[in-house]
Structure 1
């Protein structure tokens, strides 16, 4: 009995086995290069619509230099004595963030500056801003005048990271020129409120073209709904509220009037003007107070988690990829990743950008769905045992092929073959061995007729056919003879055959189809030739008469 050797996996099969890893590696590459960052930003902005910050008695107070205050107190900048009065009004506050640039002195005389510096010293809890600024040639660190810096409790940077779309979603708790020496403005204010000592002053000396260095990245905890801090007009804080109102409160002072202070696009600003920097710092301060400051996964952690999610989910879902609902299953997996990202942000205060994982899972699901459809098409047109075309597919191709050759006046050949004494073979060796022979015959047939356009098929039982477009009788007979000889040369043992080996008989019909030719008539011509081949002793090729 001939041995059935198992065939190795095809290239396509190996590719499908590697799909989880390949998809994961592609996801890792996309994460590291960042082409999907804008989509992740949109997702993050949408996730914020679920985020709320509860109000509490410890909420910060933002004193705003707003349009109403400008209308009553005059054009900006105001006399620094006003800021001195306000700081004295805030003497009972736990900490005061004075988010107003004081990098230039009053030109007329130094009394306003001295008055403000004295008020800052009396208050003792004032944090002043420091920020990077370009002078056109290099980056510089803009600090308060030495008079004000010395009077401040400490400095805090007011630098915000802008994403590629120009929107502020993140910042760094420490930054500085050359090294991250300055705490963030909100961080510094909270440290003052908690009574933490200031770090020793760092000598202000910077080399040429030093970069602005950031450290400890966090997401700004923006929230929809009512802001988790109180907003108070500057004019009201100056004269309309008692000092006791600010006792043990944290206060930020800054410009919110359009066109005066720093304005930034944010996920919740919802207008073209943007959000004032002091308001962003109020959100950041509120998140620091609650200890609920979201942090983004580092780029390497983001890339690695993306790879693992894609690879593991696709690997586990791959068996379902061959089911009718494959797309739905993978869409549900992508939705699960999205929900997990939102939960991680809300409960774990960790931002994982999910879009790459979601898109790659959807692509994997689509690829597996397309593969399933192709497999179904293959099953419908392929003989399951021999992997040749089946009778149904052969019949679907045969008639249109006749029509094309009739109109183009080209010859069409049909080869019909039958394995000799195959019933005796099955009786002697068993049907399993018979199936092995059928597969060996199919393999030789496919190899012998692999030129373009040829269609070998199993027509039923031990009967095979080959359609040869554009082939005349002599060429078809020669090709059939080559196949017959190759099969005989295999020397597959067959004790029930006079030749003691597996052979076949072949009938060939070939002509330019005539108007009255049909698939049946051409088939019958080849079948008649096959009958003659069998009557002639078998293991021969017989051409049909013209």
Structure 2
């Protein structure tokens, strides 16, 4: 019965594992695991190539020291944009939402933007009172720009930026990403320049087309130049043919975001994250993350099939090795999909679940093997090895506490004759019925029945006097006889047993001595006509059935 239940649970385990994988991945409760896996894989990515295509002009501490406190006069931006007219595209990642105190400088900046002809500006969501609005450059500047792109980043559950959305906007994903707008301008194609969204009640910022940013250790994939150097020292020719991003990196001027590169460095500013994203676009390195539902379905299918197939392995050691190898294969498959297929399937949660399933199956297998090693396969009782170990432990305990320990040895009467007449299959059934009766009669704490071998059984009774042990033995003898199992070769014509009992406080007695005394009592019970209980001490009263 227990084996049948165990086998049924084993068959259901792959389905349970698949369901658990689907729920955990679809609900994104353990997305940090996949995030950490992505971080590890990006750390292993080969270093970026040279930074011949991208330049980040940083509004840094050096520039603030040289050009003064922020905000600077907008005429400085106009001068820089005129210097960048040979660039392939310019991303002005500066929030120029409100008019400046000097309207003339706004006009000069707008004219410089038009003269350049390849300038993109930022759009991002912002709360205005209780309403969510699109924060865009002021209309005079926005109209002059060749493109607008959103600079919205989403944090993962652990507060790290790994993925971005290539489209986003208020109530509709109308804007390309800031990096995408620059890539379009650099290619010579017309870029997206949506009109400002009208205010709406219950507005929502919508995102679409997720992509994983290809962060990597080593040299950054862009040239980093101080704004002051770009404006006052470097010649215009140094920016020819390059894509330039202008943005704040100085502390306090803009948000600094944690990324997979933040372990050994401070976070990255938005303009630098956009530079990584733009590099990924130009080099075709962006990976598309699988939708959580599709990821959950794929992982559930793979885990269910893997668990079903691997669970068929016989060897416990091979089982554990195979499960860990399969988990590693899932991680390698995730890496291959990321590096070669530009798809991010996750895989960290699935690999962990499969490894845990392997550990669980290994533990169950080992527990089952240990139980088999200590259990009689026919009757389900403890076997001789288990009985001897328990006997030795109880003997030491009772000797220390000076409590009586009882040992009963049960032998089925004329059992060889039963096998000769009814066959061994019928004899095995009698042994099982005897074991069931033993479990029923000796089910209290401190009582341990076991099969010692053949038709012989032993019972340990903790803290029982000889009179109590004799009474317990007699109850079992009567219970077995009451089963009325036919046995023509036995004088009562039914299955009976003889029982030898010994009980005493073990002082200098060894297990062997106590066992021999119980065996001697059993011999007396058989000599006196079988189907009776015989003790070895002064209370050794015998009982005999009819």
Query: TM above 0.5, one fold?
Result: yes
Of 296, 308, 312, which aligns to 1:315?
308
The equivalent of 1:513 in structure 2 is 505
Paired residue secondary structure (1:64): strand
What is the distance in 2 between the residues matched to 1:412 and 1:258? 79
Partner Cα distance (1:514, 1:333) in 2: 55
Contact 1:263/1:276 (<8 A) preserved: yes
Deviations 1:37-86 (A, max 9, x none): 44433332221122236547972333333444445544433322232233
Matched, 1:291 2:292: no
The answer as to 2:142 corresponding to 1:149 is yes
**Greater alpha carbon shift after TM alignment, 140-149 vs 434-443:** 434-443
Does the Cα contact within 8 Å between 2:334 and 2:344 map onto a contact in 1?
A: yes
Cα distance in 2 between the residues matched to 1:231 and 1:517:
88
Partner in structure 2 of residue 450 of structure 1: 443
State the Cα deviation string for residues 9-59 of structure 1 (Å, max 9, x = none).
Answer: 354454344333334433444434545444433332221122236547972
Tell me the residue number matched to 1:100.
94
Distance 1:301 1:377, change over 3 A: same
For residue 361 of structure 1, the aligned residue among 350, 354, 357 is 354
Equivalence map 1:185-264=2 (5 Å): 185-199=178-192, 201-208=194-201, 210-238=203-231, 243=236, 246-264=239-257
Does residue 1:438 correspond to 2:431, yes or no?
Answer: yes
**Contact residue 148 and residue 194 of structure 2 kept, 8 A:** no
- The CA distance in 1 between the partners of 2:506 and 2:75, in whole Å, is 109
SS at match of 2:253: coil
Q: Which runs of 5+ in 2 are unaligned?
A: 539-546
Q: How many Å separate the matches in 1 of 2:359 and 2:371?
A: 18
Q: Does 1:528 align with 2:533?
A: no
Equivalent residue number for residue 48 of structure 1: 42
> Which residue does the alignment assign to 1:401?
394
CA contact (8 A) 1:294 1:350 kept: yes
Deviation per residue, 1:281-307 (Å, 9 max, x gap): 111112122332112222223333343
Partners of 1:435 and 1:190 in 2: CA distance: 82
Matched, 1:19 2:22: no
**Is 1:80 matched up with 2:74?**
yes
Match of 1:479 among 472, 483, 496: 472
The counterpart of 1:333, out of the listed 320, 326, 332, is 326
Greater shift after overlay, 172-181 or 349-358?
349-358
Per-residue deviation, residues 349-392 of structure 1 (Å, max 9, x unmatched): 22233332333233233323333443343233222332222222
Q: In structure 2, what is the Cα distance between the partners aligned to 1:341 and 1:434?
A: 58
Give the corresponding residue for 1:183.
Answer: 176
Q: Any residues of structure 2 matched to 1:168-179 within 5 Å, and which? A: 168-179=161-172
CA displacement, residues 254-304 of structure 1 (integer Å, 9 cap, x when unaligned) = 223343343222222456642121121111112122332112222223333
Change in Cα spacing, 1:403 to 1:229, as seen in structure 2 (3 Å) is: closer
Is 1:461 the counterpart of 2:454? The answer is yes
Supply the distance in 2 between the matched residues of 1:149 and 1:426 (Cα, whole angstroms). 101
**Secondary structure of the corresponding residue to residue 160 of structure 1:** coil
Q: Is the 8 A contact 1:322 1:372 kept in 2?
A: no
Q: Does 1:128 align with 2:143?
A: no
Comparing 226-235 with 168-177, greater Cα deviation is found at 226-235
Match of 2:529 in 1: 537
1:157 Cα deviation from its structure 2 partner: 0.8
1:9 aligns with 2:25: no
Match of 1:90 in 2: 84
* Contact 2:124-2:134 at 8 Å conserved across structures: yes
Question: Do structure 1's residue 274 and structure 2's residue 260 form an aligned pair?
Answer: no
Are positions 1:62 and 2:50 aligned together? no
Considering only aligned residues, what root-mean-square deviation do their CA atoms show, in Å? Answer: 3.1
Across the two proteins, how many residue pairs are aligned to each other?
Answer: 538
Q: Secondary structure at the match of 2:162?
A: strand
Q: How much does 1:107 deviate? A: 1.0
SS of corresponding position for 1:207? coil
SS class of match (1:416): strand
